[in-house]
Structure 1
Amino acid sequence: MTSKRQMKLGAFLYPTGHHVAAWRHPQANARAGIDIEHYKLLAQTAERGLFDLLFLADGVGMRGDDIDVLSRTAIRYTAQFEPLTLLSALSALTKHVGLVATASTTYNEPYHVARKFASLDFLSGGRAGWNTVTSADDHEALNFGFDQQIAHPNRYKRAEEFLDVVRGLWDSWEDDAFVRDKESGLYFEPEKLHILNHRGPHFQVRGPLNIPRPPQGYPVLVQAGSSDAGKSLAARTAEVVFTAQQTVEDARSFYTDLKGRLAAFGRQPNALLIMPGVFPVVAETRSEAEDKFAALQDLIHPEVSISALSRLFGHDLSQFPADGPLPEGLAETEGHRSRQQVFIDKAKRENLSILQLANSVAGARGHWQLVGSPSDIADALEERFTGGGADGFNVMPPYFPGGLTDFVDLVIPELQRRGLFRQRYEGQTLRENLGLARPAHPASQPSTNHRRTA
């Protein structure tokens, strides 16, 4: 008898929560970004809820120039831990949940990224994942010797080569290279060491990596880009994709498009999981959930929501009437192209003013927003999951810790009752729990001319 397909769930941890005013919520810990006890509570709550993974976004610069707006928000990477450092600490405080961190291919070097994620995979017993992003913000560029962000096509060309180098470095050693035989005095078998010797347009990396092959072969490769270039890169390299669609139709279209691209790279559809973001506000009843959401909306400062929308569009929208429509013909910018289109479509579909649009997306920032009872939330998730729009979801609680606790205590049992979510962890590694194959070392493939040893 074939077991029923079950959804995968990620817990997207943003310090105080995903609503733009989350830090002002009475239950929120305003200093959460630098409080390890806060993250310990969230990680252990997610593990109690049998989540597949924790996900940490990141930026290498505080985003924004308007100090008045910046001083009123906690969502611009203003005061929070570096994610790999944090997940290394959480690896000792959890046993099962996956640990996924963001590291940009734009302002890192492949050797650094390969070594750090291999280390996290060992520290956690095979639970690491790397969210591969390209940096699309001028404020980050200014911290790394650039006057502005790198052009979109160039960022993705660098990212493709970056990924190839990292995977090559993870294959520096065969899985059984380190024999550590005290009697013979042999620490590793020389023929099982493979030197990368990569030379390309963006990188020159000899190798080898000075850490053994990770427990998972490769940490799970995650990507969040939804532009055409992003989808092409994901089809070739990604194993999990985080995305944002507002409607069932858009979700199905994205799912079909991306899964359909895999064959060109010799990959099967189940080699990649698509997990859209979802912003759930849940309570015992729909009325209570609506009241809970309204209370959050009342905490939004209008300057903050319009500024956030302006940053994503790359245009100062405060110069236009807040009660008027989104201006037509805004010039395309280098960053966040797919997210910009999400907002444009939403404004037209719902006939929203600039302020209404800004406030409506302030919490989830373009992700799918659900407000209701446990059954309401489960119904919506089930529709997309069974209707060809998702393999699971990246859950974005509105505020912490309450929003995550509500989901674990109210929604998870409903999904389990419907047979849509696990009753226990299936494996020891993140790959095993996600149902993803462990990549074999190239040297184990008879037809592969793997790299020569030193």
Structure 2
Amino acid sequence: MSATRPLHLAAEIGGPPRYDAADYVALARLAERGALDFVTLQDSFTRPGLDALAVLSRVAPATERIGLVATVTTTHTEPFHVSSAVATLDWVSGGRAGWVVDVSTTPAQARLFGRRHAAPAEAVWREAGEVAEVAARLWDSWEDDAGIRDTSTGRFVDRAKLHPVDFEGTTFRVRGPATVPRPPQGHPVTVVDAAGEHSEDIAARHADVVLLRATRPEEAAGIRERLRARAAAHGRRPDALRVLAALTVDLGA
């Protein structure tokens, strides 16, 4: 008789753009009452609407248990700011933050920033992996007991317990250390939607949770085994990779 495994459930609370935080709070609370593990809030440079990380920072104090996972596009975005924003969500939620790593490939989105031209998927996903790596290093740049907060001496932090990361990627450099203290989780949960070859490799290297899309159970099982094998090839424990299937649910009218 095989051992039972827990069923992990999550839901996306996005949809059409809304500008009232109460809508997102209500959906997150509903998911929390339904015993879901986490909710995601999609974001991109192509959709109008509020910033996902900021919205979930508003949702955080109105919820108690559920995980809050925002999409973060790493292309055209400063990695240091990405790390700080995700760490901030982890602090305001009491250790319930996560982020979905995403990329931007279109010239139209590149023009919004005017900093550089669009790059092919392989390049921006490679950069996304580097952002995930430097974010983890920045979260580790504060030792757990670096914060002092001693009002009698006016010392907030023990600088000897802050460490530069000195990371150089293909398109950016980060010296560090972080300006936000080490998050309550240590490393907020990293999620990757493994919809293609390049994102699969980043998922195998860096993800805690992988979202996959499949039309048949055997297809999902095959992708899962491929991801686990790639994780092992990168020196990771395959069991450290939680793989969830994405489903479209039609509730009717």
TM-score (structure 2 length as normaliser): 0.92
AA aligned opposite 2:198? A
Aligned to 1:99: 68
AA aligned opposite 2:85? K
Q: 1:43 aligns with which of 15, 25, 28?
A: 28
Note the residue ranges of structure 1 that are not aligned, 5 or more in a row: 17-31, 62-76, 283-291, 296-454
Question: Which structure has the larger Rg?
Answer: 1
Q: Paired residues, what number?
A: 252
Helix, strand or coil: the match of 2:85? helix
What CA distance in whole angstroms lies between the structure 2 residues aligned with 1:256 and 1:199?
32
Equivalent pair of 1:47/1:94 in contact (CA under 8 Å)? yes
Helix, strand or coil: the match of 1:281? coil
What CA distance in whole angstroms lies between the structure 2 residues aligned with 1:195 and 1:142?
33
Aligned to 2:218: 249
What CA distance in whole angstroms lies between the structure 2 residues aligned with 1:143 and 1:268?
40
C-alpha deviation, 1:36, in angstroms: 1.8
Helix, strand or coil: the match of 1:5? coil
Q: 1:83 aligns with which of 44, 52, 55?
A: 52
Aligned to 1:364: none
What CA distance in whole angstroms lies between the structure 1 residues aligned with 2:199 and 2:80?
22
Equivalent pair of 1:104/1:132 in contact (CA under 8 Å)? yes
What CA distance in whole angstroms lies between the structure 2 residues aligned with 1:139 and 1:184?
52
Q: What does residue range 240-319 of structure 1 map to in structure 2 within 5 Å? A: 240-282=209-251, 292=252
What CA distance in whole angstroms lies between the structure 2 residues aligned with 1:111 and 1:191?
21
Equivalent pair of 2:127/2:169 in contact (CA under 8 Å)? no
Equivalent pair of 1:138/1:147 in contact (CA under 8 Å)? no
Superposed CA RMSD in Å reads: 2.0
Q: Which has the higher strand share?
A: 2
Q: Structure 1 residues 59 and 184, CA, compared in 2 at 3 Å: closer, same or farther?
A: closer
Q: What does residue range 124-203 of structure 1 map to in structure 2 within 5 Å? A: 124-145=93-114, 149-183=118-152, 186-203=155-172
Give structure 1 regions of 4+ aligned residues with deviation exceeding 6 angstroms. Answer: none
Aligned to 2:42: 57
C-alpha deviation, 1:126, in angstroms: 0.3
C-alpha deviation, 1:183, in angstroms: 4.6
AA aligned opposite 2:30? T
Query: Residues 22-53 of structure 1: CA distance to partner in whole angstroms, max 9, x if unpaired?
Result: xxxxxxxxxx6212222121111000001111
Aligned to 1:15: 15
What CA distance in whole angstroms lies between the structure 1 residues aligned with 2:168 and 2:215?
42
What CA distance in whole angstroms lies between the structure 1 residues aligned with 2:176 and 2:117?
31
C-alpha deviation, 1:187, in angstroms: 3.2
Question: Percent of aligned pairs with the same residue?
Answer: 37
C-alpha deviation, 1:200, in angstroms: 3.4
Equivalent pair of 1:241/1:272 in contact (CA under 8 Å)? yes
1:239 maps to 2:239: no
Q: Which has the higher contact order (CA 8 A, sep 6+)?
A: 1
Helix, strand or coil: the match of 1:160? helix
Q: Structure 1 residues 34 and 235, CA, compared in 2 at 3 Å: closer, same or farther?
A: same
What CA distance in whole angstroms lies between the structure 2 residues aligned with 1:136 and 1:184?
50
What CA distance in whole angstroms lies between the structure 1 residues aligned with 2:10 and 2:105?
24
C-alpha deviation, 1:146, in angstroms: 6.7
AA aligned opposite 1:15? G
AA aligned opposite 1:243? L
What CA distance in whole angstroms lies between the structure 2 residues aligned with 1:37 and 1:58?
18
C-alpha deviation, 1:221, in angstroms: 0.4
C-alpha deviation, 1:147, in angstroms: 8.3
C-alpha deviation, 1:169, in angstroms: 1.2
What CA distance in whole angstroms lies between the structure 1 residues aligned with 2:58 and 2:34?
20
What CA distance in whole angstroms lies between the structure 2 residues aligned with 1:276 and 1:162?
25
Aligned to 2:6: 6
Query: Residues 102-158 of structure 1: CA distance to partner in whole angstroms, max 9, x if unpaired?
Result: 111112111110111111100000011011111133332221227863112211221
What CA distance in whole angstroms lies between the structure 1 residues aligned with 2:161 and 2:222?
44
AA aligned opposite 2:122? P
C-alpha deviation, 1:193, in angstroms: 1.0
Helix, strand or coil: the match of 1:275? strand
Q: What does residue range 417-436 of structure 1 map to in structure 2 within 5 Å? A: none
TM-score (structure 1 length as normaliser): 0.53
